[in-house]
Amino acid sequence: MFEDLSTKLESAFKSVSGQARLSDINVAETVREIRRALLDADVNYEVARSLTSAVKEKALGQGGLASVTPGQQFTKIVYDELVSALGQEQEEITFSQVPPTVILIAGLQGSGKTTFSAKLAKWLKDQGKNPMLAAADVYRPAAVDQLRTLASDIDVPVHSIAEKDALRVAKEAVSEAKKAARDVLIIDTAGRMHVDEHMMDEVSRIRQTVNATEVLFVVDAMTGQDAVNTARQFNKQIDFDGVVLTKLDGDTRGGAAISIRNVVDKPIKFVSTGEKMDTISPFYPDRMAQRILGMGDVVTLVEKA
Amino acid sequence: EKTRSGFLDKISKTLVGKDKVDDEVLDDLEEVLITSDVGVKTTLEVIRRIEERVARDKYVSSSELQNILREEITDLLIENEPGRPAEFDADLSNKPHVIMVVGVNGVGKTTTIGKLSHMYKEAGKNVMLGAGDTFRAGAVEQLKIWSERAGVTLIQQGQGADPAAVAFDTVASAKSKGADVVLVDTAGRLHNRKALMSELGKIKRVMGKVVEGAPHEVLLVLDASTGQNAMQQAKAFTEVVDVTGLALTKLDGTAKGGIVIGISHEMSVPVKYIGVGEKIEDLQVFERAGFVNALFSRQSKDN
Ligand SMILES: Nc1nc2c(ncn2[C@@H]2O[C@H](COP(=O)(O)OP(=O)(O)OP(=O)(O)O)[C@@H](O)[C@H]2O)c(=O)[nH]1
Ligand SMILES: Nc1nc2c(ncn2[C@@H]2O[C@H](COP(=O)(O)OP(=O)(O)OP(=O)(O)O)[C@@H](O)[C@H]2O)c(=O)[nH]1
Ligand SMILES: [Mg+2]
Ligand SMILES: [Mg+2]
């Protein structure tokens, strides 16, 4: 694995030219090195390709900077491209004018939806909101149990029904929330494959029926190349408003974040970094870009130059 | 429309009669492999092997060439050891045959155990399960439902219990009741969490105190949608509990799970099972040729 892109790029320059200056030849070699680093970080193949060609153009356009090495200069260009691809601004969730704000949580199996639903409830509660949860996963064994256990730890009520009808749970939960004067309703749904027409149809019907204020697509940060396919399909079916990246407490680079932003142009709104209820935070594009590149100091170094 | 089988035809046509593979073809091969999560390192290894073969056996026919490509990739996937059969009706040399199931969060461990217990039972084996995930909310209940679906016995001590004690209990109980197969579930844990990983080592060790050599199989579950991080997972879990087999889940989506090729090759560990859905019968014994064909046969783009 690459620990520090800049070190690698430095050696790429040396091996090609014997001298550290920007030229067509060493640029080509460097671009290949960058592409490989992005692929190792799970950035999608196509996305890595378009990113590197943008980087190449910028680098050739800039010429050499006297104060930094070409390796550092390149790293900075890549970093800036990533930050801009990830979305410069930090984006918040939208609340409805008329309560309850309905937040629908969807994604593939095992991505972390149920855990995140509870965490979000706690996060909102800590901000003075009055949330409620709905257990609309009627398929996974013990899904309701799981949500109830988590919810009782954070002291948030859950709406569920015995019957296996996700649409009904969701619909009823909205009226429950109104009745109980809850200002936010978070609906947890079953994990589903983007290619499962029946299940995708279910979630899009839930979205319409509850007239969701905010739809969040939950993605495992360890996802590889397929992130583009799933994000594209989910977006097509439920037109989500934001992305949640989970399991960032691992050591994955998280290149999927770039891939998703690239194919759907929806902001990443939260990251999840553990199994405990307080491991949720907003998304910071600059931190993510550094993580993907596996670097720290180079950016500040070049910034000062 | 661009399909992967189209790619195979193309690569064959361009390669036939040459002793060098053109860059364009290599780029295409690279695209197929990288987009299947095979990873840069293993992709370069495959390309190196193809180039060597083409340089050596020039003027190969189109069908031969397709086979070479398949062979070189299949070759990287190591074969199952006879001592640890994947087939459910095979004779097992240990009684009980203890299987410990490990992996990061949400990959499909519990579901795979549910499916495996069903398969073993169908094959006439007496199966016992241990609810070793005492941590995650609803985990014991989830495995309980699976044990009922499969009609097998579950040993559990509820949420919050010591997982090593549950594992010990399960194996002891299986031994005294003469069970054939024991499957022990464990809580999902990220491989970079030192304390949780050493807990796993402890869970493994206590089983060996009840039955000599147990667990006889340590199955690492990997999610097919996981990218390059799966390699780190395989390394870290192997270090702590010496993984003996892989199960690749969620192949019913569009992810190809190509990372297992590099893992299998580098770590000499066979892929044993694949998960293809959420139902109890959605598990298959891994088949190398079928897996490799699937890398090329499905569509590469969904536009
Ligand atoms: N380490 C870590 N584990 C997480 C995180 N988020 C969720 N998990 C764990 O990942 C596993 C799956 O999480 P769930 O919340 O059950 O995922 P889900 O998307 O609801 O799963 P399904 O309902 O089966 O589709 C559980 O073991 C969680 O504890 C995270 O940010 N970090
Ligand atoms: N489509 C599909 N879903 C699967 C497959 N295997 C498991 N799942 C689903 O993935 C989700 C997580 O599965 P679990 O068995 O709970 O995973 P786990 O590894 O035990 O999770 P933790 O114990 O929380 O770490 C559930 O929704 C399962 O139904 C598979 O092969 N295909
Ligand atoms: Mg769930
Ligand atoms: Mg489990």
Residues A264-297 have pLDDT tens digits of: 989 999 999 999 999 999 999 989 998 998 875 4
Q: Do B142 and A225 touch (CB under 8 A)?
A: no
- Please name the member of A112, A149, A252 whose beta carbon is closest to the beta carbon of B138: A149
- Read off the pLDDT of residues B125-134 as tens digits, 9 standing for 90 and up: 999 999 999 9
Q: Has residue B223 got a pLDDT over 70?
A: yes
Residue B61 CB burial class (10 angstroms; 0-12, 13-18, ≥19) = exposed
Q: Flag whether residue B195 sits within 8 Å of chain A, measured between CB atoms.
A: no
- B36 pLDDT band, cuts 50/70/90, is very high
Q: Residue A100, preceding bond cis, omega within 30 degrees?
A: yes
Amino acid, res. A262: N
**Residue A239 Cα to ligand 3 middle (Å):** 20
Q: The tokens 């429950």 sit on which residue? A: A176
- Tell me how close the Cα of A225 comes to any Cα of chain B, in angstroms: 5
The residue among B199, B184, B204 whose CA lies nearest residue B116 is B184
Where does residue A57 rank: exposed (0-12), middle (13-18), buried (19+ CB within 10 A)? exposed
Q: What pLDDT was estimated at residue A64? A: 63
Q: Which tokens in the block code for residue A196?
A: 């499962």
Q: Is B189 on the interface with A (CB under 8 A)?
A: no
A219 CA: distance to closest CA in chain B (Å)? 11
Q: Looking at residue B303, what is its pLDDT? A: 33
A291 CA: distance to closest CA in chain B (Å) = 14
* Contacts with B254 from chain A: Cβ below 8 Å: 194-195, 226, 229-230
- Classify A42 in phi/psi space as left (phi over 0), alpha (psi -120 to 50) or beta: left
Residue A267, preceding bond cis, omega within 30 degrees?
A: no
B234 pLDDT higher than 50: yes
Closest CB to B31 among A45, A140, A253? A45
Average pLDDT score over residue span A235-263: 96
Among all ligands shown, which has an atom nearest to the Cα of B114?
2
Q: Does B137 touch chain A (CB under 8 A)?
A: yes
- B223: its two tokens: 């999610």
Q: Which of A185, A186, A182 is nearest to A130 (CA)?
A: A182
CB of B26 within 8 Å of a chain A CB? The answer is: no
With an 8 Å Cβ cutoff, are B141 and A111 in contact?
A: no
CA-closest candidate to residue A301, choices A45, A126, A71: A71
Give the residue ranges of DSSP H helices in A63-161.
Answer: 70-86, 113-126, 143-154
pLDDT higher than threshold 90 for residue B194:
yes
Of residues B60 and A304, more confidence is placed in B60
- At residue A8, the pLDDT reads 67
- DSSP letters, B155-172, are E---TTS-HHHHHHHHHH
CA nearest ligand 1 atom 29, residue:
A275
Residue A282 has what DSSP assignment? E
The string over B222-251, giving b where at least 16 C-beta atoms fall within 10 Å of a residue's C-beta and e elsewhere, is bbbbbbbbbbbbbebbbebbebbbbbbbbb
Q: Is B191 on the interface with A (CB under 8 A)?
A: yes
3-state secondary structure at position A136 = strand
pLDDT for the residue A2: 38
Report the alpha-carbon distance of residue B74 to residue B286 in Å, rounded. Answer: 12
What tokens appear for B179 in the block? Answer: 């069970």
Give the predicted TM-score (pTM) of the model. Answer: 0.94
Q: Range with the lowest mean pLDDT among A26-35, B80-89, B176-185?
A: A26-35
Give me the percent of chain B exceeding a pLDDT of 70: 88
**In the prediction, which pLDDT does B78 show?**
95
d(CA B171, CA B128): 9
Question: Of the ranges A32-41, B18-27, B59-68, which is most confident?
Answer: A32-41
Burial of B158 (0-12, 13-18, 19+ CB in 10 A): exposed
- Span of A6-20, A50-64, B259-273 with lowest mean pLDDT: A6-20
Instruction: Give residues (CB < 6 A) around ligand 2.
Output: A 109-110, 140, 191, 193; B 103, 105-111, 133, 136, 139, 187-188, 221, 249-250, 252, 275-278, 282
As a whole number of angstroms, the distance between CA B60 and CA B74 comes to: 19
Interchain pair A42, B228: CB under 8 A:
yes
A156 vs A122, A132, A135, A184, CA distance in Å?
8, 6, 12, 11
* A103 DSSP β-pair partners: A186, A214
Instruction: Please give the pLDDT value at position A294.
Output: 81
Calculate helix-pair angle for B40-56, B259-267, nearest 10 degrees: 80
User: What integer best gives the mean pLDDT of chain B?
Assistant: 91
d(CA B103, CA A279): 21
Tens-digit pLDDT profile for residues A116-170: 999 999 999 999 999 999 999 999 999 999 999 999 999 999 999 999 999 999 9
Residue A165 to chain B, least CA–CA distance (Å): 18
| Residue ranges with strand state E in B224-293 | 245-249, 271-275, 283-285
Per-residue confidence band for B55, with pLDDT thresholds at 50, 70 and 90 = confident
What pLDDT was estimated at residue A155? 98
pLDDT number for residue B83: 83
Best A188, A226, A229, A263 residue to mutate vs chain B (most B CBs within 10 Å): A226
The pLDDT of residue A67? 66
Helix (H, G, I), strand (E, B) or coil at A172: helix
Rg of chain A taking only CA atoms, in angstroms: 22
Q: Is B164 within 8 Å of B206 (Cβ atoms)? A: yes
Q: Which of A275, A277, A291 has the most B C-beta neighbours within 10 Å, making it the best mutation to test the interface with B?
A: A275
Instruction: State the pLDDT at residue B87.
Output: 95
- Report how far residue A291's alpha carbon sits from residue A255's, in angstroms, rounded to the nearest whole number: 9
Residue B133 CA, ligand 1 centroid: distance in Å: 14
Which residues, by Cβ under 5 Å, contact ligand 4, an ion?
B 109-110, 133
Do residues A119 and A279 make contact, with C-beta atoms less than 8 angstroms apart? yes
pLDDT at A296: 55
CB-CB contact of B142 with B110 (8 Å): yes
Nearest 10 degrees: CA dihedral of B32, B278, A119, B163? -110
Which of A109, A115, A137 to mutate to test ligand 2, by most ligand atoms within 8 A of the CB atom? A109
Q: Which residue of B has its CA nearest to A253?
A: B229
Q: Which residues contact A192 (CB under 8 A, 6 or more apart)?
A: A106, A108, A109, A199, A200, A202, A203
User: For ligand 1, what atom is nearest to the CA of residue A218?
Assistant: 19
Q: Measured between alpha carbons, how far is B194 from B207 in angstroms, rounded to an integer?
A: 21
**CA within 13 Å, CB half, A150:** 30
CA-to-CA distance for A159 and A110, rounded, in angstroms? 21
Residues with CB under 6 A from ligand 1: A 107, 109-115, 137, 140, 143, 190-191, 246-247, 249, 272-275; B 105-106, 136, 188, 190
Tell me the C-alpha distance between B219 and B108, whole Å: 12
Residue B68 has what pLDDT? Answer: 83
DSSP B82: T
- Chain B, window 58-77: residues with a beta carbon less than 8 angstroms from a chain A beta carbon: none
pLDDT given for residue B8 in this prediction: 63
Residues of chain B contacting A42 with CB distance shorter than 8 Å: 37, 227-229
